[in-house]
Amino acid sequence: MKQSQLFTKTRKDAPKDEVAKNAQLLIRAGYIHKEMAGVYALMPLGLRVMNKIATIIREEMDSIGGKELQMTALQDKKPWEVSGRWNDEIVDNWFKTALKNGTDIGLGFTHEEPLTNLMKEYIRSFRDLPVYIYQLQTKFRNEARAKSGVMRTREFLMKDLYSFTKDVASHEAFYEKAKQAYVNIFERVGLGDRTYITFASGGSFSKYSHEFQTVTDAGEDNIYVDEKKKIAVNEEVNNPEVLKELGIKKEDLVQKKAVEVGNIFSLGTRYSDAFDLKYIDSEGKALPVIMGSYGIGLQRLMGTIAEVMSDENGLVWPKNISPFQIHLIALLDKEGKEGKVGVAGEKLYKTLTEKGIEVLYDDRDVRPGEKFADSDLIGIPLRVVISEKTMAEGIVETKDRKTGEVRKIAEKELFVL
Ligand code: ATP
Ligand code: MG
């Protein structure tokens, strides 16, 4: 992509009402646009990051047998009345609206109900199980506060997976696989070393659920971490009985601020009972399906990465989810784009792109200082400068965004990065 054609511009300041560092940086660098409090649009750079995150999530979900579908945002209230969750006393963050004829509808904040309802059409016998379904779909939540930038929004993309299994043993086996897939996801997006599997309360079916909590001061949660065991407990379950059961000593726990980037939950028969979702086993007996749900908020993940991987000059994307791998900067000579550097830059940009390397090419005719500042703010892992000076030396100059390390290398070394 050529920067001269990228319509988003970097800006010195974020909107005055934006208090979260993640949103300030993402807005200033042109990744997102603030529509209103708690609602953000994705600009081309932001969409590229989200697509990278989505690809990693899809790969991990597919690898444990997930089948992708897409449910609707508009929700019929009937299934929600079946579970009791249409009630505003029980769910306090619904966005509800109505059809022209007065029929109430809602904007989905999660999808257990419609999906359990839908699976009644497809699950009949033990041969139809297990089923693992996931989607990357927009959720709407009328959150009371929206002060954490893209980490808590009123409209966001969630990956939600639902498991349907025939008994507790097969549920538990899948639950462990899903847990490992989550570990892989957070590792791959660069948050592995600060994300803790955190024991949380499990609802009526199982003793615990598990949250994936990433340590950051921008988080809204408090967790209690056992560094040696690399696990944590959340506030709900931080009590002597639970610690004893988990083999954790109170004195080994350190309190940390963290954000819940994902969670996995055993639902048992809560929804299958409500919807009478049963299957016929090999002996002809009707049994309730055992369910689980597994969520990750994509914008929250992007925002968390922006919080923890940034410095005073801007964003510092990990390679796997950076919008581009190389930020190529041409320091144009007096002849501008038609000059020697402009022509060589264009050629290098084309060559790299043809080799499948994702390049943001700063072909703009602006001051070097502005280019460098923008490059730091946008945060692509490797900056590559081509100028009259580097051309005279027959090299390009690279700078690692994270370490600051500067190197002079031959152009062709870039092809094998
Ligand atoms: P929280 O405790 O932070 O309010 P939650 O427990 O309500 O979140 P879930 O309903 O389990 O969250 O949703 C699954 C995932 O969706 C969460 O782990 C989080 O990553 C993400 N998520 C939840 N609410 C939001 C939100 N308002 N904005 C962005 N992401 C969210
Ligand atoms: Mg939660």
pLDDT by residue (tens digit) across 101-159? 999 999 999 999 999 999 999 999 999 999 999 999 999 999 999 899 999 999 999 99
| Token pair of 154 as six digits | 């009123």
What would the pLDDT profile of 4-35 be if each residue is shown by its tens digit? Answer: 999 999 999 988 999 999 999 999 999 999 99
CATH code of 365's domain = 3.40.50.800
Pocket residue to mutate for ligand 1, from 138, 201, 300, most atoms within 8 A of Cβ: 300
- Nearest residue CA, atom 19 of ligand 1? 297
- As a whole number of angstroms, the distance between CA 397 and CA 376 comes to 15
- As a whole number of angstroms, the distance between CA 303 and CA 128 comes to 39
pLDDT of 51: 98
Could you tell me if 335 and 307 lie in one domain? no
Which residues lie below 8 Å from residue 36, measured CB to CB, with a gap of 6+?
Answer: none
Could you tell me if 55 and 136 lie in one domain? yes
Could you tell me if 82 and 182 lie in one domain? yes
Domain that holds residue 168: 21-311
- Nearest residue CA, atom 25 of ligand 1? 152
| Average pLDDT over all residues of the chain | 97
Tell whether the torsion through CA atoms of 53, 56, 59 and 62 is positive or negative.
Answer: negative
Among 243, 278, 311, the domain boundary falls at 311
For ligand 1, the distance from its centroid to the CA atom of residue 94, given in whole angstroms, is 14
pLDDT of 203: 80
Could you tell me if 238 and 373 lie in one domain? no
pLDDT band for 416, please (50, 70, 90 cuts): confident
Could you tell me if 208 and 239 lie in one domain? yes
Mean pLDDT on 230-252: 96
Can you tell me which atom of ligand 1 is nearest the CA of 110?
A: 10
Could you tell me if 303 and 330 lie in one domain? no
Is residue 357 in some structural domain? yes
For ligand 2, the distance from its centroid to the CA atom of residue 262, given in whole angstroms, is 8
Pocket residue to mutate for ligand 1, from 198, 263, 265, 305, most atoms within 8 A of Cβ: 263
The candidate with the shortest Cα–Cα distance to 199, out of 151, 266, 111, is 266
Q: Is-contact 257 217, C-beta < 8 A?
A: yes
Q: Is-contact 228 251, C-beta < 8 A?
A: no
Is residue 344 in some structural domain? yes
Q: Is-contact 325 359, C-beta < 8 A?
A: yes
Pocket residue to mutate for ligand 1, from 151, 211, 260, 266, most atoms within 8 A of Cβ: 260
- As a whole number of angstroms, the distance between CA 332 and CA 311 comes to 28
CATH code of 133's domain = 3.30.930.10
What would the pLDDT profile of 144-203 be if each residue is shown by its tens digit? Answer: 998 999 999 999 999 999 999 999 999 999 999 999 999 999 999 999 999 999 999 998
Could you tell me if 177 and 226 lie in one domain? yes
Identify whether 15 is preceded by a cis peptide bond (ω within 30 of 0): no
Could you tell me if 285 and 336 lie in one domain? no
Strands 382-386, 396-400: parallel, antiparallel or unpaired by DSSP? antiparallel
Residue 383 pLDDT more than 90? Answer: yes
- Nearest residue CA, atom 18 of ligand 1? 262
- Nearest residue CA, atom 14 of ligand 1? 295
Can you tell me which atom of ligand 1 is nearest the CA of 220?
A: 3
Residue 233 pLDDT more than 80? Answer: yes
Per the structure, the count of domains in the chain is: 2
Is residue 316 in some structural domain? no
Which residues lie below 8 Å from residue 251, measured CB to CB, with a gap of 6+?
Answer: none
CA dihedral of residues 401, 402, 406, 410 (deg, nearest 10):
-70
Relative to the alpha carbon of 152, which ligand is closest? 1
Q: Is-contact 367 376, C-beta < 8 A?
A: no
What distances in angstroms separate CA 109 from CA 27, 55, 81, 93, 141, one per listed residue? 25, 23, 15, 8, 6
Is residue 153 in some structural domain? yes
Residue 417 pLDDT more than 90? Answer: no
Is residue 8 in some structural domain? no
Is residue 409 in some structural domain? yes
Relative to the alpha carbon of 151, which ligand is closest? 1
For ligand 1, the distance from its centroid to the CA atom of residue 47, given in whole angstroms, is 20
- Nearest residue CA, atom 22 of ligand 1? 297
Q: Give the three-class secondary structure for 294.
A: strand
For ligand 1, the distance from its centroid to the CA atom of residue 110, given in whole angstroms, is 10
Could you tell me if 49 and 148 lie in one domain? yes
Q: Which amino acid is at 284?
A: G
Could you tell me if 306 and 408 lie in one domain? no
Residues pairing with 41 in the sheet: 33
Looking at per-residue pLDDT, the higher value among 36 and 204 belongs to 36
Share of the chain above pLDDT 70, in %: 100
Q: Is-contact 158 108, C-beta < 8 A?
A: no
Mean pLDDT on 193-218: 95
Among 262, 282, 311, the domain boundary falls at 311
Is residue 9 in some structural domain? no
Is residue 149 in some structural domain? yes
Relative to the alpha carbon of 147, which ligand is closest? 1
Report residues whose beta carbon is within 6 angstroms of any ligand 1 atom: 110, 141, 143, 152-153, 156, 158, 260-263, 295-297, 299-300
- Nearest residue CA, atom 28 of ligand 1? 152
Could you tell me if 305 and 367 lie in one domain? no
The candidate with the shortest Cα–Cα distance to 123, out of 304, 291, 260, 331, is 291
Share of the chain above pLDDT 90, in %: 97
Among 249, 281, 311, the domain boundary falls at 311
Q: Phi and psi of 44, rounded to 5°?
A: -50, -45
Could you tell me if 380 and 289 lie in one domain? no
